[in-house]
């Protein structure tokens, strides 16, 4: 029974002891993407930027015990951060007002400079990016502003980097993501021009397609008529050859075929046909006498 109360008492006392040790600066825990800057009597005595459990007394000696009373511990977030500045106003060379959106990422590289060089480093970096973007893009040709954003982004980054490093930052990628027109009338005019151009291109494509189809049809009709002419020219030779073969085998069949062909030609000619009975010769002779 004496073990359980001792265990419960230990669970209650250990957090208190750890809190007192942390309050007196005997140990500190540094998180991921985090730096801790220690000052004593208004001066920076060191920085710990490795994640894990650390004992400041092992870094700074006995004076680390004075930090809770005469110094301060600053916790700085060193994770990569991203910002997007919308609708930064610039004027093109033609005097057209344009809205520019610029995205950038930055990370605290020097925690001491970040803390003590500039009172508002985040705001100053944002203002620096904005001013550099405006100065870089202002009075540029609209075409270059719209099409050459990669090189312009690199120019902005080169302009911002020196001052950002002075403030403890490491500037990552800078990219001009969006260039837009802010004048509604101009947007409507451009939209109308684009629509007209699309209609023209669509009509040209349709006409070109119809021309191609017509060309294919005419070429096909020419080839078909050529083949039909060749077949018609070859037909008499083939028919004659076959008739000769039939005549050699059985002349009676040839005679029958010729009679059938003659009847077919007679029917196709639409000529008048008189059908006479078996005594047709007598009637003809009577007709001849009547005429005399």
pLDDT in tens, 179-234: 887 777 777 887 888 899 999 999 999 999 999 999 999 999 999 999 999 998 99
- In this prediction, residue 257 carries a pLDDT of 80
Cβ-contact 174, 153 below 8 angstroms: yes
Residue bearing the bigger pLDDT, 250 or 9: 250
Mean pLDDT of the residues in the chain = 84
- Where residue 252 falls among pLDDT bands split at 50, 70, 90? confident
* Cα gap 138→147, rounded to integer Å: 15
Cα gap 239→229, rounded to integer Å = 16
pLDDT band at 292 (very low <50, low <70, confident <90, very high): very low
CA distances from 153 to 158, 159, 237 (A): 9, 10, 81
Determine how many CB atoms are found less than 10 A away from the CB of residue 174: 23
Out of 7-16, 200-209, 240-249, 267-276, which region has the weakest mean confidence (pLDDT)?
A: 267-276
- Are the beta carbons of 114 and 168 closer than 8 angstroms? yes
Record the tokens describing residue 231, joined without a space: 């077949």
What pLDDT shows up at residue 278? 64
- Is residue 132 very low, low, confident or very high in pLDDT (cuts 50, 70, 90)? confident
How many Cβ atoms are within 10 Å of 90's Cβ, its own excluded?
Answer: 20
Dist. CA 188–CA 196, nearest whole Å: 12
Q: Which residue has the higher pLDDT, 104 or 267?
A: 104
**Taking the domain 80-182, which CATH number applies?**
3.30.479.30
Supply the DSSP symbol for 63: G
pLDDT (average), residues 250-268 = 83
Is a pLDDT exceeding 70 seen at residue 99? yes
Answer yes or no: is pLDDT of 91 > 90.
no
Coil vs helix vs strand at 190: helix
Q: Are 170 and 109 in contact (CB under 8 A)?
A: yes
Whole-angstrom Cα distance, residue 230 to residue 228? 5
pLDDT category of residue 279 using cuts at 50, 70 and 90:
low
> Which one of 10-14, 227-231, 244-248, 266-270 scores highest in mean pLDDT?
227-231
Confidence of residue 37 (pLDDT cuts 50, 70, 90): very high
Q: Rounded distance, CA 271 to CA 262, Å? A: 13
Both tokens assigned to 118: 């500039």
What number of CA atoms fall less than 13 Å from residue 148's CA on the CB side? 12
Phi, psi of 7 (to 5 degrees): -65, -45
The domain ranges of the chain are 16-77, 80-182, 203-263
CA–CA separation, 230 and 233 (whole Å): 5
- For residue 67, count other CB atoms closer than 10 A to its CB: 22
């Amino acid at each position: 029974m004496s073990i359980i109360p001792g265990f419960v008492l230990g669970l209650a006392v250990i957090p208190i002891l750890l809190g007192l040790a942390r309050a007196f600066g005997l140990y500190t825990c540094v998180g991921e993407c985090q730096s801790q800057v220690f000052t004593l009597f208004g001066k920076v005595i060191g920085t710990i930027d490795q994640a894990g459990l650390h004992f400041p007394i092992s870094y700074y000696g006995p004076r680390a015990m004075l930090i809770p009373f005469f110094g301060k511990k600053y916790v700085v977030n060193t994770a990569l951060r991203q910002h997007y500045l919308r609708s930064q106003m610039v004027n093109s060379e033609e005097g057209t007002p344009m809205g520019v959106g610029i995205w950038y990422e930055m990370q605290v590289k020097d925690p001491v400079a970040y803390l003590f060089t500039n009172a508002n480093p985040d705001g100053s970096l944002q203002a620096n990016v904005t001013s550099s973007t405006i100065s870089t893009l202002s009075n540029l040709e609209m075409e270059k502003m719209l099409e050459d954003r990669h090189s312009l982004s690199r120019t902005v980054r080169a302009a911002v980097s020196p001052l950002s490093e002075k403030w403890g930052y490491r500037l990552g990628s800078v990219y001009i993501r969006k260039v837009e027109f802010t004048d509604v009338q101009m947007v409507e005019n451009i939209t109308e021009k684009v629509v007209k151009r699309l209609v023209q291109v669509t009509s040209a494509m349709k006409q070109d397609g119809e021309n191609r189809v017509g060309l294919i049809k005419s070429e096909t009709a020419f080839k078909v008529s050529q083949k039909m002419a060749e077949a018609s020219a070859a037909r008499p030779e083939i028919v004659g050859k076959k008739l000769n073969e039939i005549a050699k085998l059985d002349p009676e069949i040839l005679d029958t075929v010729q009679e059938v062909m003659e009847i077919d030609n007679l029917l196709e000619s639409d000529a008048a046909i008189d059908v006479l009975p078996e005594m047709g010769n007598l009637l003809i002779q009577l007709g001849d006498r009547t005429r005399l």
